[in-house]
Structure 1
Amino acid sequence: MARYATLLLCTALTAPPAALAQTAPTTASDAAQDVTDDADVVVTARKREERLIDVPTAATVLTGSAIADRGGATNPVELLGGQPSVRILDTGSAMTNEVSLRGSPTTRGTSGDPSVGLFRDGAYIGGGGFSGRSFSRIDLFDIDRVEVLRGTQGALYGRNSVGGAVNIVSAKPEFENSGFANARYAIENEQFQLQGVTNVKLSDALAIRLGVDFVTQDGGFFRNDFLGTVLDRNDSTGIRGQIRWKQGGTDLVVRGETWRGFVPAIAFRAYIDPPRTGFPRGYIQPERTYPWSTDAFSRQEVTSWMGELNQELGFAKLRSVTQYRKRKADYALDLDGLNPVLLAQLRADGTVTSTTVDPGQAQEREEDAQFFTQDLNLTGELGDSALNWLAGLEYFHLRSNSEQRTLRTPTVPNPSPGNRQPLRTTFDSWAVYGSLDYALTSTLNVIGEVRQTWDEKSATSRRFDLATGLPSGGTGFVVDFANAPSNFSYNATLSWRPQPEMTLYGKVGSSYRAGGFNQDLGPATQPIPIPAAYDDERSTSIELGAKGRIARGTTFGIAAYQTYSTDIIVALNNGCFIGSTVCNSSPVTFSSNAGKARTWGAEAELASRIALGAGNLQLSANGSYQKGRVTDGPFDGQLLPQIPRWTFAANATLNAPLSGDVSMLVNVNYNGQRGGVHDLVAPGAPAPFDMDKIDLLNARAAVRLGGLEAGVFVSNLTDATYDVFRGAGARRLNPPRNWGVQLGYRW
């Protein structure tokens, strides 16, 4: 701990002395003077600046201060868990987690694109491989706000915004001297985190903002007891630098950042119910200790450069976002869940009678993806602000090189140690988009949004034997594919304001999710063949909603929707499982089109900020219902997977003065889910596994003195245990209770 304390002290000492005297922190008394709510937060949900309350769509904003009150967020589960209609498909590794909104399909463990638009400061960052369906840790560092837009956003946000879009807006340099240093130590997994940011005003027109994010971990909850390693490892470092020039009508921000390190590995335990051929008594491994012969890990590296220009032109406002992003990732995973020593013991005592179990099966994957995005748009007004207009152009380029290696134990009949399958993909996309928002009366608006997209995609892949280097597997593992689909997406909205701060709206819109390629085409013994490619998914959605402020400090939102999809992209598996007599290994998950589907649901949210003397109490709660079914094809009638029937959440934050400059903060947040199934299943196969119920409670308390804050936190307060994944031969558990201390200083 001495090195951690020294590191924190050094960071705090880098604060400019003048800054410490110039900016006073917000106290509980200050906060109570102006009890407002997030409805007045300025967002760019429609690619123009406007108040959240004025946007005629279902949307939520997480401010940086609200995230800090909960203790911060370093992965998508911590950031988005508990938001209306949000589901995080938790693979155990933040690198392969997947975000879903309003029951949008997920494709875990594949190279498929996400069904939710993932954006940083308006630039798309999703896709490109197995680690492209979620945000990286560096994306969650030093956040200004997070805009969660629910419902189809295809017209303005483009590809993959089927269930909605999430835009993380990073804190930009401000024209003041300020900063913070935060340290956190979690007791149970011996994890230390440190974040530090300094903001320096160089002149009235020039400012810089520098930040460091660091985490290291000595313990863990998930362990490989055969090799003596920790599976849920966290060790990474990220740095960010920004410079901002703002003068006259010009506002330019340039940002560079890099982050690399280890994140928790994909972990599971063998879970075989008796009786099963080859496992007459079944076989269930300990909850969080696994006997793997593979040294499993997950590692990622992200480097990006971004330039954002906002220019007043008089007749319009120009906004340009340019981004280059490079993402590298690799992981190793044990496919059989065993080791040779344990397998011999299990065979000796009769637990395993199968002769096809291979304890040397493993998978290694790596990717190197490069992105370039250019988004350019103009916004303006006509006719005394009766008509708001937007016109934009976008170009997106992705080049990805990846490789998968599947390992096995060589035998006399088959001396091969396995195979490797490299995959090279390119994706180029051009789009034009625009919107018109016309005020028919002072309270009634009609809004039209459109986008035309042209895509070009190609993929090349071969399978090679690891020993000989020669092609293997035959023509079924040769991929030479290219296509050039186009798409027209739209949104049409009618918005009515019966009161100045209340909006009722109805909308219909369309979107598409980009098709792609499967890298892992599975073993020759698999019962279900894996297609090399799959087509675009197309959706049309109808929504009715209401939102607004019902009292000072109290806001609400309700919405109901129905979505019709064709060629819906879902995750399937090849029918292999541990204990199978045909293909005895972990299943290979792949993306495929499953035909038509219908998804429907409703959601409600309420938030209130109440003055309590010199302090305040912030309360929020939400709940959602969603359901989806396949409506034709081989899966006709089945529930769409990974859609909890019910989700609900509540959050309470108390800010209160104690004495003089001393105040306290207490935060309690809860989220839960009920219902849903894990997978689609082949016709005639056993019913899919039900999703576990989730009840997750977290708490945090802190004392503040001036700019200093000291606190304690508890995650999973009740030590709830539930499966985040269930399959035919494997299950994955959530982390247990953890607690720790935090120390922060803000100037």
Structure 2
Amino acid sequence: MKKSIRFWLACWLAMWSWCVNPVLAQGQPTVLTGRVVRAANGDPLVGASVFVKGTKRGTITDRAGRYRFILTEPVTIVARFVGLRDVEVTLLPTGKPIEQNFEMVSNETQLADVMVAANRQDEYLQKVPVAASVVGRRDLERRSIYNTMESLNNTPNLITDSWLNSQVSFSIRGLSTVFDNVGFESTVALYIDDVYFSRSFAFNQTLMDIDRVEVLRGPQGTLFGKNTIGGVIHVISEKPEMTNDGQIELNYGNYNFRQIRAKLNRQLVKNKLAIRLTSALSLRDGFVTDRTPSIEALNKTNFFGFRGSLLFTPSDRVTLTLRGNYGRDNKAENTFVYTSKPDYNPVGVPADEGLTTNQNAPVEFFRDQYGGMGKLEIKLGRNTLTAISALNSSVDSYLSDNDISAADASRWGRSQGLRTFSQELRINSPRDQKFAYVAGLYYLNERISAADTFTLNKGFLPVAARLLGAPIANANQFTSEGYTTDAVIESQSTAGFVSGALELTPKLRLSGGLRLTTETRQLAYYQRLRHQLVNGVPFNIIDLYASTIGSKASPVTRQITDLALSYDVGMDYRFTSNLMGYAKFVRGFKGAGFNTAPIKDSESGGLVFRPEYVNNYELGLKAKPTERIQVNGAIFYTDYKDKQELLDQGTRVRVANAPLTRGYGAEVEFSAMLKRFRLDVSAGYLNLKFIDFPFGTDDNGNPVNYAGNRLLKAPDVTLSVAPEYTVPLNDKLRVYLGLNINHTGKAYNDISNSELLARVPASIINGRVALVPANGKWSLAFWGKNLTNKLYIQHGWEYEFGDQVAWSRPRYYGMEVYLNFR
């Protein structure tokens, strides 16, 4: 890994030294020409004003949207058109002709023209033949969104859940990955500012200083890599700006919720160097109450983090962005309750009632995350060369009462870590030329580790006697037995990719791409049992769950190598400047992996599982008939081969590949805006099932096949309705009224489709009322989430010592204050 870092660092420094000292010929007469067009569809704007800021010197565009005049000194050029936002750009005369085009977007009384980086560069959403949703800065603020999970509530065919701060699940179009096994990489690729995170436990949820969150649905393997079978979630933070401003946000709510977020932007060197600093502190009590006061006292969330970014623009063709971040969680809320019923009470205690539990150990949690990245962009004519280097680290530890009851049956803990280095080098052309392309190289080096500790205590003895079919000898002397499992994965992945779009006619465009990925992974694994001896004889109760495999000095090792080709081909047709249709086929790939969970047999338990592949067929439409209405929709068919699945049930953890999985779905997003009213609606439908899935045998030795079962985390229906109304009180004050209604249909939380653990259909209603002055210098808001107090099961497990479920968050509400400084 060190050699790789040194190699890429040398390449990065060489490019930097080549470009930081450009010489511009200033003060010479320069001919300035260009076009002014509507960003949403590329139509020319006739009669748009193009002028020098602060003067009356300027011109207007002709029938083709073109303009022309002469520069003799550095100036700021402004493009203006009625109903659209002004666009400004600073230009320096070079003595050579300059072409400067302007793309105009809607003002605040119309639907904004949304940007998306689906082709690894910013484009307008309505021009990109991809099923994508974008949650912008405006949405984050007006819906009081504070973390990644909340930001995704309005996306069709997407659900999230989390039973602990470090264990987050994202499911797009019914494709998700089990989140409690570090050997499984995410099926949904997670990105922050172009940097990939292969495990969701390293994906920080608290949003600070975010420009937008993009969701690309369906496989995105050509441009975003191997683990994008479900799609991509890309969090894009705000860049430093050449201004001086800041913001403070204060929040207080029930469950003793307190949050402070702040950001500061400073221009250090005019038009050359700027810095942005942000920080957040979030505190909250747990919503599941433990009857034991000493345990309840530790039932909290406590997060602190900060981010810093530096923007350096030494010339108009070079941009360097540096980012660093740090985050710490040192407490965690309990979300679990014990759910065994009167007719099934294995440990002899009653089931918990509602959101009250009675456990005998607190949840202990700690997480440290830090990292940094550098992004260098160099203009080469009309093309752009981009180099991105990143280092990231995440470590966390967790310990809890595993049986989630008053009976002291078991304890479980885990510590896990992730260290990554990644390097990407790519070149892209502008998307508005006849043949547009993106090509590049990508390298990823990772070290992932996990250590599990499990203990069976005295309260487990009634269960052990039933499983063994006989009373436990010397039971009154038993205290505990357990195991420790340790796994380390070293992974290297290299890829080359190219993607292009060719304009055959002004209306028809063909597109396609290839990505060749090679990766090698090594696993070192051992599992050690801890037996209690009585008169030199072990109880061997822990043997129900695990067996000795390898040792610390001599672990069991496995190595896997994959070489795979991902590709896509498609076409899009622009029926009018406001209506586009597209058809697309994508071949996706996700590499082989390791089962790092505790197992009873290194062979039959499945330390290694095969890679998985998907063929996805999609048809879509994108329409924006006016500046106030937008409709996007898609239908798709998915054919999955060897889907990787895990079942954690009873006394066994089993891993297998489902040979055949198929299904189809549809989704639509609608937005409309009147003078003071806005409505956003999204809907999704899914029908994905295992077609063939033999999964070993049950406890009685009978063969099990999950054919016909629905995929886990795959609701049949998702629906979101978000109306918003603005009430002007006078010429200085406004009130914003907003609702956010999200309905999710039934979804199973395991591949066996257990009804006890299933997520029931639920509608969640959120609301917000805000008072905002016209100058935007402050705001006061009251917000409420899950106003009807609807509860559903986020996740759950069936164990021999009793079932347990993690509940969704009940009703919570609070007050928010924004202060803006300019």
Partner residue, 2:760: 692
Question: Which whole-Å CA distance do the structure 2 matches of 1:485 and 1:688 have between them?
Answer: 38
Instruction: Report the AA paired with residue 641 of structure 2.
Output: T
Paired residues of 2:647 and 2:750 also in contact (CA < 8 A): yes
The residue type paired with residue 414 of structure 2 is: R
TM-score by length of 1: 0.85
Counterpart contact for 2:287–2:333, Cα < 8 Å: no
Change (3 A) 1:467 1:200: farther
Task: Please give the residue correspondences for 1:321-360 in structure 2 after superposition, counting only pairs within 5 Å.
Answer: 321-339=388-406, 343=407, 359-360=408-409
* Aligned match for 2:644, one of 563, 566, 569: 569
Change in Cα spacing, 1:180 to 1:488, as seen in structure 2 (3 Å) is same
Q: SS of the residue aligned with 1:137?
A: coil
Matched, 1:222 2:288: yes
Read off the aligned partner of 1:597 and give its amino acid letter.
T
1:56 aligns with 2:120: no
Structure 1 residue 394 displacement after superposition: 0.3
Residues of 2 paired with 1:745 and 1:58: CA distance? 36
Question: What residue number does 1:491 align with?
Answer: 568
What pairs up with 1:47-196 in 2 under 5 angstroms?
47-74=120-147, 76-88=148-160, 90-111=161-182, 112-127=184-199, 131-132=201-202, 135-138=203-206, 140-186=207-253, 188-196=254-262
C-alpha separation between the residues in 1 aligned to 2:351 and 2:196? 42
1:40-65 superposed Cα distances (whole Å, 9 cap, x missing partner): 22322111232111000111111112
Question: 1: distance between equivalents of 2:331 and 2:579?
Answer: 44
- For the 8 Å contact 1:211–1:239, the answer to whether it is kept is yes
Amino acid corresponding to residue 64 of structure 1 in structure 2:
R
- Between the aligned partners of 1:703 and 1:224, the Cα distance in structure 2 is 38
Residues 529, 668 of structure 1: alpha-carbon distance in 2 compared, 3 angstrom cutoff:
farther
- The answer for the alignment partner of 1:710 in structure 2 is 780
Cα distance change, pair 137–688 in 1 and its aligned pair in 2 (3 A):
closer
1:743 partner letter: V
Question: CA offsets, 1:633-667, max 9 Å, x none?
Answer: 32222222221000000112223321232121222
Please give the alpha-carbon distance, in whole angstroms, between the structure 1 residues aligned to 2:391 and 2:452: 25
Shift of 1:456: 0.6
Q: For 1:494 and 1:230, how far apart are their aligned partners in 2?
A: 59
For the residues of structure 1 that align with 2:609 and 2:771, how far apart are their CA atoms? 54
More displaced 10-residue stretch of structure 1: 549-558 or 384-393: 384-393
Q: Which residue of structure 1 lines up, in the alignment, with residue 693 of structure 2?
A: 633
Change (3 A) 1:330 1:277: closer
Structure 1 SS opposite 2:130: coil
Segment of structure 1 superposing worse, 292-301 or 325-334 = 292-301
Q: Using the alignment, how far apart are the partners of 2:205 and 2:796 within structure 1?
A: 26
Q: State the 1:37 CA deviation.
A: 2.2
Corresponding residue of 1:508: 585
1:601-640 correspondence to structure 2 within 5 Å: 601-611=665-675, 616-634=676-694, 635-640=706-711
* Structure 2 residue 812 is the aligned partner of structure 1 residue 746: no
Q: Give the structure, 1 or 2, with the largest relative contact order (CA under 8 Å, sep 6 or more).
A: 1
SS in 2 for 1:709: strand
Q: Could you say if the C-alpha distance between residues 670 and 372 of structure 1 is closer, same or farther in structure 2, counting changes exceeding 3 Å?
A: same
Residue matched to 1:374: 423
Q: Gapped runs of 5+ residues in structure 2?
A: 1-82, 86-105, 459-474, 533-537, 695-705
CA separation of 1:34 and 1:266: change in aligned 2, threshold 3 A: closer
CA offset at residue 678 of structure 1? 2.6
Aligned counterparts, 1:434-445, within 5 A = 434-445=498-509
Shift of residue 338, structure 1, vs aligned partner = 2.6
Of 406-415 and 496-505, more deviation after overlay is shown by 406-415
What is the CA-CA distance between 1:332 and the residue it aligns to? 1.4
CA contact (8 A) 2:528 2:549 kept: no
Residues 501 and 264 of structure 1: CA distance in aligned 2, closer, same or farther (over 3 Å): farther
Q: How many residues align?
A: 669
Q: Which shows bigger deviation, 669-678 or 688-697?
A: 688-697
Distance 2:737 2:761 in 1: 27
Mapped contact 2:721–2:742 kept (Cα < 8 A): yes
Contact (CA 8 Å) 2:400, 2:413: kept in 1 or not?
yes
The answer to whether the Cα contact below 8 Å between 1:319 and 1:376 also exists between their aligned partners in 2 is yes
- SS of the aligned residue for 2:222 comes to helix
Q: Describe the superposition over 1:169-199 as per-residue Cα deviations: whole angstroms up to 9, x where unpaired.
A: 111101111121000001x200100000010
Q: Which one has the bigger strand percentage?
A: 2
What displacement does 1:589 show?
5.6
Q: 1:467 to 1:115 in 2, by over 3 A?
A: same
Provide the secondary structure at the position in 1 that maps to 2:151. Answer: helix
SS state at 1:195 partner: strand
Matches within 5 A, 1:235-246: 235-246=302-313
Scaled by the length of structure 2, what TM-score is found? 0.77
Paired letter, 2:722: N
RMSD: 2.8
How far is the alpha carbon of 1:688 from its aligned partner? Answer: 7.0
Question: Distance in 2 between the 1:272 and 1:465 partners?
Answer: 28
Structure 1 residue 168: deviation in Å? 0.7
Question: 2: distance between equivalents of 1:590 and 1:215?
Answer: 37
Compared with structure 1, are the counterparts of its residues 79 and 381 closer, same or farther at alpha carbon in structure 2 (3 Å cutoff)? Answer: closer
Work out which of the residue numbers 361, 373, 377 in structure 2 matches 1:306: 373
- Structure 1 portions without partners, runs of 5+: 1-28, 344-358, 577-582
Q: CA deviation at 1:234?
A: 1.4
How far, CA to CA, are the matches of 1:408 and 1:161 in structure 2?
39
| Structure 1 counterpart of 2:610 | 535
**1:667 corresponds to which residue?**
738
Shift of 1:446: 0.3
1:257 CA drift (Å): 1.1
**Does 2:494 align with 1:430?**
yes
Distance in structure 2 (CA, Å) of the matches to 1:235 and 1:690: 30
Q: Report the Cα distance in structure 1 between the residues aligned to 2:204 and 2:593, rounded to whole angstroms.
A: 22
* Contact 1:107-1:591 within 8 A present in 2 as well: no
Deviations 1:290-329 (A, max 9, x none): 2212221333221010111111011521112211110111
Q: Distance in 2 between matches of 1:181 and 1:590?
A: 49
Shift of the alpha carbon at 1:34? Answer: 4.5
